[in-house]
């Protein structure tokens, strides 16, 4: 089935306006974001270049040509603060993004984890970090439904993100067609219903995933998972913060648990002793033996 997952989303290329060297993510603009009552978003660990690009895009979208007038707008307009926050925290994804990654999960990772869960009569737990609008955890739910539906296996899938708006969209489970380009036809026909110009997941799949608000940089890990996908999240962080995130994820994985990073990401040197590489091309790693620390519960953090 997954041999069909071969058409990743085609992105349109285009020239962007030059970044203004006057944009400083550690000065007035980010101070306004931090002071927003609606925001607990911490910018300190994010790479300056990533932040500058997104701030520059927001400045262009309101028709301004530099940071100074935009700072005045930002300080006076709470709605613009929210829009900038959404721009800074956006994480664009799609169903079955990078299909070859899901092929490795299908052929090697999930069968091993399923066998381990059966042998121990324990639940198979999967965590999608930075899940945005929910495409990744729902892709995992579709995959597990196809592979493991006939097995007597307890399964728990959660998706976390720091954007409450994105989590609400994820809970609705309705998507435009371009987000489903890599979904196999039989899954599309079986598990989606077309209405109001969107493809909406059936309740069986929606109920298989729970969503929680969680900031991987500042919140404590709260979920013990056998498989963690943290793809295209580390690229926005400084090296110091990448190390912190990887240590948090290592603490959430039992020995033998699996971690999947994005193709442009890798383990920082100080964390390589925590994992062994399973598939270098797909950035899939397995947790080595180590002490397991207790994790806080999920209580009180659900977005629904």
Residue 261 per-residue DSSP state: E
Q: 229 to each of 137, 168, 266, 284, how far by Cα in Å?
A: 9, 20, 13, 9
Task: Specify whether 126 is located in the same domain as 179.
Answer: yes
The verdict on residue 36 lying in a domain is yes
Q: Are residues 207 and 78 in the same domain?
A: no
Does residue 122 share a domain with residue 37?
no
In a domain, 19, yes or no: no
Number of structural domains, the chain?
A: 2
Contacts 24+ apart (CB under 8 A), 154-157: 154/117, 154/122, 154/123, 154/124, 155/123, 155/124, 155/126, 155/208, 156/123, 156/124, 156/125, 156/126, 156/210, 157/125, 157/126, 157/127, 157/128, 157/208, 157/209, 157/210
Q: Is the residue at 13 inside a domain?
A: no
Residue 299, pLDDT score: 42
Could you tell me if 170 and 250 lie in one domain?
yes
Element (H, E) at 81: helix 78-89
Residues 205 and 272 in one domain: yes
> Is 269 found in the same domain as 123?
yes
257 falls within a domain: yes
Residue 81 lies in a domain: yes
Kindly state whether residues 123 and 142 are assigned to the same domain.
yes
Decide if 298 is inside a domain: no
- Residues 80 and 218 grouped into a single domain: no
* pLDDT value at residue 37: 42
**61 and 103, same structural domain?**
no
Would you state the pLDDT for residue 14?
39
Q: What does each of the 304 residues of the chain score in pLDDT, given as a tens digit?
A: 554 333 332 333 334 444 444 555 445 566 565 555 444 444 555 555 666 777 887 888 888 877 778 888 887 887 887 777 766 666 668 999 999 999 999 999 999 999 999 898 899 999 999 999 999 999 999 999 988 876 778 899 999 998 888 999 999 999 999 999 999 999 999 999 999 999 999 999 999 999 999 988 877 766 789 999 999 888 878 888 899 999 999 999 999 999 999 998 999 988 999 999 999 999 999 999 865 555 544 443 444 4
Predicted local distance difference test score (pLDDT) of residue 216: 87
Strands 227-230 and 284-287, by their bridges, are unpaired
The token pair at 262 is 């994005």
Asked if 78 and 107 sit in the same domain, the reply is: no
For residue 53, give its domain range.
Answer: 28-89
Residue 142 and residue 53 in one domain: no
């Amino acid at each position: 089935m997954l041999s069909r997952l071969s058409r990743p989303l085609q992105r349109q290329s285009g020239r962007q306006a030059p970044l203004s060297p006057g944009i400083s993510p550690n000065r007035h603009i980010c101070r306004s974001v931090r002071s927003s009552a609606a925001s607990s978003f911490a910018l300190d660990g994010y790479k300056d270049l990533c932040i500058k690009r997104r701030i520059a895009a927001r400045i262009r979208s309101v028709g301004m040509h530099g940071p100074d007038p935009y700072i005045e707008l930002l300080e006076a307009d709470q709605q613009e603060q929210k829009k900038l926050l959404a721009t800074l925290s956006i994480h664009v994804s799609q169903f079955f993004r990078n299909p070859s990654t899901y092929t490795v999960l299908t052929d090697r990772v999930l069968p091993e984890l399923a066998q381990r869960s059966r042998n121990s009569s324990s639940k198979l737990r999967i965590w999608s970090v930075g899940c945005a609008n929910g495409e990744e955890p729902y892709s995992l739910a579709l995959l597990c439904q196809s592979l493991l539906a006939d097995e007597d296996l307890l399964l728990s899938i959660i998706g976390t993100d720091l954007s409450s708006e994105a989590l609400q969209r994820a809970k609705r489970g309705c998507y435009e067609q371009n987000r489903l380009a890599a979904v196999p036809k039989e899954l599309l026909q079986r598990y989606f219903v077309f209405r109001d110009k969107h493809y909406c997941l059936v309740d069986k799949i929606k109920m298989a995933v729970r969503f929680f608000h969680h900031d991987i940089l500042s919140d404590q890990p709260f979920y013990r998972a056998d498989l963690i996908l943290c793809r295209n999240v580390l690229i926005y962080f400084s090296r110091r913060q990448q190390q912190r995130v990887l240590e948090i994820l290592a603490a959430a994985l039992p020995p033998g648990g699996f971690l999947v990073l994005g193709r442009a990401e890798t383990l920082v040197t100080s964390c390589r002793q925590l994992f062994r590489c399973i598939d270098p091309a797909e950035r899939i790693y397995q947790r080595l033996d180590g002490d397991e620390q207790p994790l806080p519960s999920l209580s009180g953090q659900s977005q629904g």
